[in-house]
């Protein structure tokens, strides 16, 4: 059986998913596969059309219908207590996602997520605490808080955002050796006080993933994003001033309709000035049903691509510089994979979110235990990964 967990956010993801489903269909025809389930955002966005086009798929389930998949295949679901949600075991036992909510109220003009996933709906704080404790009892050493926008957590339930309260409750209730990592913080709701709080708490990782998409006020306005250049520059500069080793991550869209060369150049300047550790860049793609797709001033593909390439080339240099800062330093890492034959281990530090960031490769790693923390000394730095040794006792 195969379960395709899809993304319907942008056209390139839609195409990639459809190609995977077509490959699985031909495997099924040849008898190499019995069942196919397609789950996730693609079903929310194009479910009815796809059901007609891909008849050999056995099960279709929207992003919020994971129980349908469990009921159909009866896989090894971890039964979660009380209100906490059950889950499929997709990640390593020691690194788990804690999804704090679903949907988004920001309605950026290029984005399909509010129409696919709906308005922001938070999971009650008590249920999240219960789920977090359950995951930790089952071996989690790192909880990655995820949601389309963590900073809005709780507003729908409690009338105002409650991310601070969620963090302090997790901090109070969880054992002290569990990492808390936040993924996706909207810049408009990040301020100096929040950055101080993160910097001052050892288990809330000094890792700020703040997707800004652009820095120019006029482009941000066309994107229907509430942020202003001055605010964005201020919070990133503040984080750097509080802790020069803060891991800063952002996301940029290149070639938004009407983006001029001067406006794009501002983005490059900003990345250098703010010394952003890691950047996820996307070439703008007009998405069906979004206001941006109907705007004038769409930019030629070759220009969009060239801006993307220039940004990535510059960012590779910035990332390398940031990586070199760690040479000779000690870093606490979480051991993800021990390769015994090579006497090596792949680990992650506070700077490395699972799947999206780099790794720390540790020589002599065969003595390490997967899912445990260890302190290593950094000996080499590449653009994405660091390399390290275990200090002699
Ligand atoms: S904040 Fe993020 S998820 Fe929400 S509309 Fe904007 S880009 Fe989409």
Contacts 24+ apart (CB under 8 A), 317-325: 318/271, 318/272, 318/275, 318/276, 319/277, 319/278, 319/279, 319/383, 319/384, 320/381, 320/382, 320/383, 321/275, 322/275, 322/277, 323/358, 323/381, 323/382, 323/383, 323/384, 323/386, 324/381, 325/244, 325/245
Walk along the chain (393 residues) in steps of 10 and give the mean pLDDT of each run. 85 88 91 90 86 89 80 59 52 92 93 90 96 94 96 96 97 96 96 97 96 98 96 97 96 98 98 96 94 96 97 97 97 97 97 96 96 97 96 82
Minimum-distance ligand 1 atom for the alpha carbon of 213: 7
Name the residue among 382, 287, 370 with its Cα closest to residue 336. 370
Q: Whose CA is nearest to atom 1 of ligand 1?
A: 106
Strands 59-61 and 36-40: parallel
Distance CA 41, CA 199 (A): 35
Distance CA 10, CA 91 (A): 24
pLDDT of residue 79: 47
> Is 3.80.30.20 the CATH classification of the domain at 80-324?
yes
pLDDT of residue 87: 58
Fold category of 330-389 in CATH: OB fold (Dihydrolipoamide Acetyltransferase, E2P) (2.40.50)
Residue burial 286-298, b: 16+ Cβ < 10 Å; e: rest: ebeebebbeeeee
Q: Is any ligand 1 atom within 6 A of the Cβ of residue 108?
A: yes
Residue burial 31-50, b: 16+ Cβ < 10 Å; e: rest: eebeebbbbbbbbbbbeeeb
Residue burial 150-169, b: 16+ Cβ < 10 Å; e: rest: bbbbbbeeeeebbbeebbeb
DSSP letter at 296? S
Place of tokens 């709780």: 154
Distance CA 27, CA 24 (A): 5
> Is 3.30.2130.10 the CATH classification of the domain at 2-73?
no
Q: Is any ligand 1 atom within 6 A of the Cβ of residue 14?
A: no
pLDDT of residue 82: 42
Q: Are 119 and 103 in contact (CB under 8 A)?
A: yes
pLDDT of residue 84: 44
Q: Is any ligand 1 atom within 6 A of the Cβ of residue 212?
A: no
Q: Calculate helix-pair angle for 163-173, 192-199, nearest 10 degrees.
A: 10
Name the residue among 339, 338, 336, 369 with its Cα closest to residue 353. 336
Q: Is any ligand 1 atom within 6 A of the Cβ of residue 120?
A: no
Residue extents of the structural domains in the chain: 2-73, 80-324, 330-389
User: In Å, how far are 96, 138, 224, 231, 253 from 108, measured between CA atoms?
Assistant: 28, 38, 5, 18, 12
Distance CA 224, CA 368 (A): 48
Name the β-bridge partners of 380.
Answer: 387
- For ligand 1, the distance from its centroid to the CA atom of residue 183, given in whole angstroms, is 13
Distance CA 10, CA 2 (A): 23
Minimum-distance ligand 1 atom for the alpha carbon of 186: 1
Minimum-distance ligand 1 atom for the alpha carbon of 211: 2
Q: Are 322 and 334 in contact (CB under 8 A)?
A: no
Count Cα atoms within 13 angstroms, Cβ side, for 319: 20
Name the β-bridge partners of 97.
Answer: 144
pTM of the predicted model as reported, rounded to 2 decimal places: 0.88
pLDDT of residue 47: 81
- For ligand 1, the distance from its centroid to the CA atom of residue 356, given in whole angstroms, is 19
Strands (E) across 14-85 are located at 36-40, 59-61, 77-78
Distance CA 331, CA 323 (A): 12
- Element housing 309 (H / E): helix 301-324
- For ligand 1, the distance from its centroid to the CA atom of residue 348, given in whole angstroms, is 28
């Amino acid at each position: 059986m195969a379960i395709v967990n899809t993304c319907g956010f942008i056209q390139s993801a839609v195409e990639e998913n459809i190609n995977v489903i077509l490959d699985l269909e031909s495997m099924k025809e040849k008898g190499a596969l019995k069942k196919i389930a397609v789950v996730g955002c693609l079903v929310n966005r194009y479910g009815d059309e796809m059901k007609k086009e891909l008849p050999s798929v056995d099960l279709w389930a929207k992003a919020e219908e994971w129980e349908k998949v469990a009921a159909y295949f009866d896989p090894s679901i971890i039964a979660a207590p009380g209100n906490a949600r059950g889950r499929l075991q997709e990640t390593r036992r020691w690194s788990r996602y804690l999804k704090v909510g679903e949907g988004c109220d920001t309605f950026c003009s290029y984005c399909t997520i509010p129409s696919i996933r709906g308005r922001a709906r938070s999971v009650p704080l008590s249920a999240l605490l219960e789920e977090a404790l359950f995951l930790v009892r089952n071996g989690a050493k790192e909880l990655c808080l995820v949601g389309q926008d963590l900073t809005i957590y709780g507003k729908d339930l409690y009338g105002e955002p409650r991310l601070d309260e969620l963090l302090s409750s997790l901090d109070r209730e969880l054992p002290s050796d569990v990492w808390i990592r936040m993924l996706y913080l909207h810049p408009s709701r990040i301020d100096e006080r929040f950055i101080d709080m993160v910097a001052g708490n050892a288990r809330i990782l000094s890792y700020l993933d703040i997707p800004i998409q652009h820095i120019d006020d006029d482009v941000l306005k066309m994107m229907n994003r509430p942020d202003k250049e001055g605010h964005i520059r201020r919070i990133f500069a503040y984080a750097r001033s509080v802790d020069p080793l803060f891991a800063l991550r952002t996301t940029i869209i290149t070639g938004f309709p009407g983006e001029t060369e001067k406006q794009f150049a501002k983005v490059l300047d900003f990345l250098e000035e703010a010394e952003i550790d890691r950047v996820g860049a996307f070439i703008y793609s007009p998405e069906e049903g979004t206001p941006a797709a109907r705007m004038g001033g769409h930019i030629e593909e070759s220009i969009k691509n060239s801006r993307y390439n220039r940004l990535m080339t510059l960012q590779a240099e910035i990332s390398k510089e940031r990586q070199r800062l760690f040479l000779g330093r000690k870093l606490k890492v979480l051991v993800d994979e021990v390769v015994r034959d090579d006497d090596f281990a792949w680990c992650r530090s506070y700077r490395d979110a699972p799947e999206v960031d780099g790794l720390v490769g540790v020589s002599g790693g065969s003595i390490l235990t997967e899912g445990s923390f260890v302190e290593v000394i950094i000996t080499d730095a590449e653009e994405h990964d660091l390399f390290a040794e275990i200090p002699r006792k």
